[in-house]
Amino acid sequence: MTKALLIVNPSAGKEKSTDYQQKAEQALLKRFDEVVVKQTEKGGDATEFASKAAEEGLDAVIAMGGDGTLNETVNGLAPHDTRPAFGFVPLGTVNDLARSAGIPLKPEKAIKALETAKLMPMDIGKIDDQYFMNVLAIGMIAQAVDQVSVEQKTKFGSVAYFIEGLKAFNRHEMLHFQLAADEEDWEGDAALVVAGLTNSVGGMEKWAPEAKLDDGLLHVFILEKLDLLNAPGMIRQLVRGNLKESGGVRYIQTRELSLEATGNEITVNVDGDPGPELPVKIEVLPSHLQILVPEKPVKKGPFGSLL
């Protein structure tokens, strides 16, 4: 007898997640004998629900919510030796993991895809004692994005991140970083350091086009220059999938990374939410989860679509 857990964040997707709950249950019952539904009420609930599902030996855990809910679910599954399959219905502002995995951004289509979804391996990252599924960002722009409220996300969507990031961008704020990777070290001033497991960051699906869900690598971009003079050229290269070729950008591939910076209380943005303070140690856990993806992944443009 197969059993799945459906975790629902009722405040996600502009508070429309409960509209999709029944449809998701029906879709999952076409491939599992039993589906248990739990709604989150506070931070940490999805982690607790997913962890208990792994302990009980469930076959799959499906999360319905934004990247924060998915991150919590991953943190519940990752520590266990035996882990259920991981699936999700994206209801967030950016939905980077969905973009990278070829999962439709429209909830109805993502739900339908669960009926026949196949399993594929997915790397996850570990930063100190917590896990992440997509991206880390460090710098004053990342600090500014941490200030985006739930109300701003709901009202303005991804534009809210752009507004806060632009404010920091205009202040030309830099940090002095020290990085230690597998095969090289780097030290210097930078506006932003982004370390991703997937190709999509902030909804930009050509951020790291060579990144795969299961390549075992962390793709690190160090933006040494970020001002009004070089930003247009950087954006052009990003659209083409050539950000690493931009002037003022250093690109590193690594399995492990140590990172610190000069300054007090500098935090790491983890999958879109505030995380631990520097210094930190980061590692990739290769093919740590099995993720449910559509038989035919959707294709989207460089800045996404609503497929």
Q: How confident is the model at residue 159 (pLDDT cuts 50, 70, 90)?
A: very low
Closest CA to 57 of 77, 27, 31, 87: 77
Q: Can you say how many angstroms the Cα of residue 53 is from the centroid of all Cα atoms in its chain?
A: 22
Burial of 92 from C-beta contacts in 10 A (0-12 / 13-18 / 19+)? buried
* The predicted structure's pLDDT at residue 112: 96
3-123+288-293: which CATH architecture? 3-Layer(aba) Sandwich (3.40)
Q: Can you say how many angstroms the Cα of residue 296 is from the centroid of all Cα atoms in its chain?
A: 21
- 293 vs 242 pLDDT, higher one: 293
* The predicted structure's pLDDT at residue 306: 38
Length of the chain: 307
**Topology adopted by domain 132-286:** Tumour Suppressor Smad4 (2.60.200)
* The predicted structure's pLDDT at residue 172: 59
Other Cβ atoms closer than 10 A to 131 = 23
CA distance 149 to 169: 19
Q: How confident is the model at residue 220 (pLDDT cuts 50, 70, 90)?
A: very high
Cross-strand pairs, 97: none
CA distance 135 to 99: 13
Q: What's the whole-number mean pLDDT along residues 15-41?
A: 91
* Fold match flag (3-123+288-293 vs 132-286): no
Identity (one letter) of the amino acid at 44?
G
CA distance 137 to 117: 31
Looking at the chain, the whole-number percentage of residues with pLDDT higher than 90 is 58
Q: In what order do the strands lie in the sheet with 273-277?
A: 249-254, 218-223, 192-196, 135-138, 267-270, 273-277
CA distance 135 to 97: 9
Tens digits of per-residue pLDDT, 164-181?
555 655 565 688 999 999
Upstream peptide bond of 279 is cis (omega within 30 degrees of 0):
yes
Cα-Cα-Cα-Cα dihedral sign, residues 50, 79, 198, 287: negative
Helix (H) or strand (E) holding 221: strand 218-223
Average pLDDT of every residue of the chain: 84
Closest CA to 295 of 107, 125, 115: 115
- 182 vs 142 pLDDT, higher one: 182
For the chain, the maximum distance between any two Cα atoms, rounded to a whole number of angstroms, is 61
CA distance 147 to 132: 20
* The predicted structure's pLDDT at residue 265: 82
Least confidently predicted of 125-134, 153-162, 167-176, 275-284: 153-162
Place of tokens 């799959």: 60
Question: Residues 147, 272: contact at Cβ < 8 Å?
Answer: no
Domain ranges of the chain: 3-123+288-293, 132-286
According to DSSP H, which parts of the chain are helical?
17-28, 45-55, 67-77, 96-101, 107-114, 140-145, 150-156, 159-170, 231-240
Q: How confident is the model at residue 151 (pLDDT cuts 50, 70, 90)?
A: low
* Residue 60: partners with Cβ closer than 8 Å, 6 or more residues away: 2, 4, 5, 28, 32, 84, 85, 86, 87, 292
